[in-house]
Structure 1
Amino acid sequence: MIRVELRILLVRRRTWMSVLMLAALPVIVALFLKISGIGSGTASPAFLTEVVHNGTWLPVAALVLVLPLFLPVAVLLLAGEAIAGEANAGTLRYLVIRPVGRGRLLAAKLAGIMVYLVIAVTAVTTTAFVVGWGLFGLAPIRPLSGAGPPLSLSQAGIRIALSALFVAASMLGIVGIGLFLSVVTATPLAATLGALGVLVTAGVLDQLPAAAAIQPYLPTHYWMGFVDLFRAPVSWVNIRRGLVLESGYGAAMIIIARLVFGTRDITS
């Protein structure tokens, strides 16, 4: 079942269109930086000041650009459609009566989403690395804080790869929420919009001083934790907390989705 789901994912045109759109974002930003020269001032957004002087920073900046909105939206479109899409198309009944069972169907959908995540973040970072190399050149990078020596290109590459993996893992919470809503709703749009509502609410609360008490428990709170990989010394606190929080959210929501899906009457 997982093999079938992955084959469907990889042959869909919209899969590669969404990956292409995500990968195009850092390219567009880099071209504007190169042409306009904006980004060389101290008031530039995160990492863009460093990018115009050293293209090695572009993959990091690319992850910062896609993480708050573009990547979550792409992922939630898949998660929201996972079960609700089959129900809406009238194929869910035929899938669940096959020997694969509901648990394996849900696991196959989850596997497809996680493979998409890996493909997407790999495309974004690889494209940004190549474009950064071509437009700004590559050089060792200075840590964001501390007095450590510059990171060599190989060291920077390892930390960029770890950052991409962390970003993919950071989507576990909203993937779980999206799958749960896909199980309990009849249409993909309702599931996707519901998960987006949770995402936007968490993002707003994460910026609200009055909500400081609950911010460490919001699924979006540690998304930028990978930035700590580029400090000297590396601070693992936010990275560790982020992985634990996302794993907890993801596991809890997927288990609940499985329990609900197991007792749901399939009428379409």
Structure 2
Amino acid sequence: MIGVELRKLVLRPRMWLSVFLLCALPTLVAIFLATADFPPPRGQGGAFLNAVLRNGSLYPAAALALVLPVFLPLAVAVLAGDSVAGESASGTLRYLLSRPVGRSRLLVAKLIALGAFIVLAIALVVITALATGVALFGTGAEAVGQPGAITSLSGATLGPGALAMRLLGTIGYIVVSMLGFGVIALFFSTLTDSGLGAALGALAVLITSSVLETLDAAAPIKPYLPTNYWLAWIDFFRDPIFWHSINKGLLLQAGYIVVFFGAAWANFSTKDVTS
């Protein structure tokens, strides 16, 4: 069943369109940065955008900062929201469950396919951004003394190996964060026969969480909002790494995955499937 879901994912044109758009945004921004007559002010604009002008090896981090707040969650919400509801709307869900598959196994396969999409999307964004950054801005050898090295947010120099490890840590952290959000959309997908409705429900959670983060009155619940620690991956680019927010973010997303996947399973296992 997992192989079937992964094959469906790879053969879905909409999935590849989402990945293309995610990769296109950082590429477009890089072109504008390379051709602009003035750099973005230090400390303003997207994370790392000022630093990449001196070292293109850091552009994958800037690209992730660009797609994370809106575009990546949007792609995840659309895919996860359509995972069960789309099958029901197209009339294939009942056919799937008529085979000796089991609802739990089907739901786990949907979750694994969602995780595969998130990993694929983030990996391609990073690879595309690295190639674009190095081509347009160079490797920063003049600034730090060795190609591929960067200056961390703490002022220390990070070699290519340390940078690669931090990028891998960043990818892993964002994958877990997006999976925590995607499971919310998967839960909504078990509640309705409309993939669009499920995606909009997840996006409503995203918008509500983002708005509450800006309110001082919501301070008591901020540590539990799904978006609260999404940008904690930036701490991977400090030396030493600041693990406090990263660990809290991973624990929070693990809680969301367990709770909402359990809720999705509880609802789907007892749902009356008629289509």
TM bucket, shorter chain: over 0.9
Q: Distance in 2 between matches of 1:184 and 1:111?
A: 20
Cα contact 1:172–1:247 (8 A) shared by 2: no
Cα contact 2:27–2:129 (8 A) shared by 1: yes
Cα contact 2:118–2:179 (8 A) shared by 1: no
> Which residue is equivalent to 1:263?
270
Q: Distance in 2 between matches of 1:40 and 1:80?
A: 37
Q: Distance in 2 between matches of 1:240 and 1:76?
A: 24
After TM superposition, the structure 1 = structure 2 runs for residues 116-195 of structure 1, keeping only pairs within 5 Å, are: 116-139=117-140, 140-145=149-154, 149-195=156-202
Equivalent residue pairs, number = 266
Following superposition, the deviation at residue 17 of structure 1 comes to 1.3
> Which residue is equivalent to 2:28?
28
The alignment status of 1:108 with 2:109, answered yes or no, reads yes
AA at the equivalent of 1:233: P
Cα contact 1:82–1:179 (8 A) shared by 2: yes
Following superposition, the deviation at residue 238 of structure 1 comes to 0.8
Q: Distance in 1 between matches of 2:100 and 2:37?
A: 60
Q: Distance in 2 between matches of 1:231 and 1:105?
A: 41
The alignment status of 1:89 with 2:90, answered yes or no, reads yes
Cα contact 2:22–2:72 (8 A) shared by 1: yes
Q: Distance in 2 between matches of 1:157 and 1:174?
A: 26
Cα contact 1:215–1:221 (8 A) shared by 2: yes
Structure 1: gaps spanning 5 or more residues: none
Q: Distance in 2 between matches of 1:40 and 1:263?
A: 54
Greater Cα shift, 168-177 or 1-10 = 168-177
Following superposition, the deviation at residue 32 of structure 1 comes to 0.2
Q: Give the TM-score normalised by structure 1.
A: 0.96
Q: Give the TM-score normalised by structure 2.
A: 0.94
> Which residue is equivalent to 1:234?
241
The CA deviation string for residues 159-214 of structure 1, in whole angstroms up to 9 with x for no partner, is 11211111111112211111111001121111111110011000111122221111
> Which residue is equivalent to 2:39?
39
AA at the equivalent of 1:78: L
> Which residue is equivalent to 2:146?
none
1:113 match: secondary structure: helix
> Which residue is equivalent to 1:216?
223
Following superposition, the deviation at residue 64 of structure 1 comes to 0.5
Cα contact 1:225–1:238 (8 A) shared by 2: yes
The alignment status of 1:17 with 2:26, answered yes or no, reads no
Greater Cα shift, 14-23 or 68-77 = 14-23
Q: Distance in 1 between matches of 2:56 and 2:191?
A: 45
Structure 2: gaps spanning 5 or more residues: 141-148
Q: Distance in 2 between matches of 1:73 and 1:37?
A: 32
AA at the equivalent of 1:261: F
Greater Cα shift, 35-44 or 66-75 = 35-44
The CA deviation string for residues 40-95 of structure 1, in whole angstroms up to 9 with x for no partner, is 53253121110111112210010100000000000111110011001101111111
Cα contact 2:114–2:179 (8 A) shared by 1: no
Greater Cα shift, 194-203 or 38-47 = 38-47
Following superposition, the deviation at residue 153 of structure 1 comes to 1.5
Q: Distance in 1 between matches of 2:7 and 2:269?
A: 25
Q: Distance in 2 between matches of 1:174 and 1:211?
A: 20
Q: Distance in 1 between matches of 2:269 and 2:40?
A: 56
AA at the equivalent of 1:71: L
Cα contact 1:159–1:229 (8 A) shared by 2: yes
AA at the equivalent of 2:153: L
Identity of aligned residues (%): 47
2:226 match: secondary structure: coil
Cα contact 1:82–1:109 (8 A) shared by 2: yes
Q: Distance in 2 between matches of 1:9 and 1:37?
A: 42
The CA deviation string for residues 130-178 of structure 1, in whole angstroms up to 9 with x for no partner, is 1111010113211212x5x300122112211211111111112211111
